Amino acid sequence: MNAKSTTVDPDEISHFAKDSAHWWDEHGPFAPIHRMNPTRVGYLKATICAHFDKNVKDLKALKGLSILDAGCGGGVVCEPMARLGAHIMGIDADQVAINAATEHAERSGLKIAYVCGTTETLKEQFDVVLALEIVEHVADVEAFVQSCVDRCKPGGLIIFSTLNKTWKSMALAKITAEYIVRWVPPGTHDWKKFMKPSTLAASLRRAGATPFEAMGLVFNPLKNEFLLSTNDLDVNYFIAATKDQNKEKSKK
């Protein structure tokens, strides 16, 4: 971990590191991530396949694509992406999380490149850059968004997911999830760092990407599962963007 990085918040890293060895415990501190993961992965697969004209029904639908998972945690998204055929790298500033991710991938027989560090320290570019449930934990949002766009190839795909800054998200994602039902450890989220879709979209545009879709991720208590929603972005949501083709030229 580069402690001097402009995007790393040391307090956030220390908060997560104490639980990071338990990333793959589906009933542990990261249980909500495991619960939303099937729907998240389904959305990612469909969006990536549509962008690169891939057959979403193919068991190796992402074969030939390079993907970066920024803020990968224990690798719960990296592994299904690898199984779908992608060449994937996961990067996270939490060494404990990287250790957990590496060990689990080895036990699962998956080849995934895991790096302890930050996106701005990388040099290579990828077809797809994912930044899932991480932008609300960084120290400098603009710098982080810019680094994610920089790591994407021109014409490539960038997908963020985060928490909307609404009173509904305060009630559900903060108060209820942390202090009432105890889905996540208290202090996991700071509502002040939640972002409206319009704010994140503006940051992506300034960084040289064009947002083209926003999609909500809604918990259905009756089915005990997360579902996608085109009109309810009040709590969790995705934003998908394409890196501008002329971005690299404009920087020269």
pLDDT (tens digit, 0 to 9) for every residue of the chain, 252 residues total?
333 446 886 765 776 667 788 899 998 888 888 988 999 999 999 999 999 999 999 999 999 999 999 999 999 999 999 999 999 999 999 999 999 999 999 999 999 999 999 999 999 999 999 999 999 889 899 999 999 999 999 999 999 999 998 867 666 664 445 434 455 555 565 657 789 999 999 999 999 999 999 999 998 877 778 899 999 999 899 999 999 987 654 554
85 contacts 62 by C-beta, under 8 angstroms: yes
In terms of DSSP H, where are the helices of the chain? 10-17, 31-52, 78-83, 95-108, 141-150, 167-169, 197-207, 247-251
For the beta carbon of residue 206, count every other beta carbon within 10 angstroms. Answer: 12
Judge whether 100 lies within some domain.
Answer: yes
Residue 192: exposure state from Cβ atoms within 10 A (0-12, 13-18, ≥19)? exposed
Judge whether 173 lies within some domain.
Answer: yes
Residues 6+ apart with CB under 8 A from 93: 1, 2, 5, 8, 13, 116, 117, 118
pTM: 0.88
Judge whether 184 lies within some domain.
Answer: yes
Phi, psi of 127 (to 5 degrees): -65, -35
What pLDDT, on a 0 to 100 scale, did the predictor assign at position 4? Answer: 42
Look at residues 117, 62, 70 and name the one whose alpha carbon lies nearest to residue 89.
70
Judge whether 223 lies within some domain.
Answer: yes
Query: What angle (nearest 5°) sits at the alpha carbon of residue 63, between those of residues 82 and 117?
Result: 45
Rounded-to-integer distance, Cα 190 and Cα 92, Å: 20
Q: How far is CA 199 from CA 6, 205, 219, in A?
A: 20, 10, 23
> First vs last Cα of the chain: how many Å apart?
29
Judge whether 5 lies within some domain.
Answer: no
Provide the domain limits for residue 172: 10-251
76 contacts 34 by C-beta, under 8 angstroms: yes
What pLDDT, on a 0 to 100 scale, did the predictor assign at position 170? Answer: 60
Judge whether 36 lies within some domain.
Answer: yes
Count of domains for the chain? 1
Helix (H, G, I), strand (E, B) or coil at 142: helix
Q: Provide the CATH number for the domain around residue 89.
A: 3.40.50.150
Judge whether 3 lies within some domain.
Answer: no
Judge whether 1 lies within some domain.
Answer: no
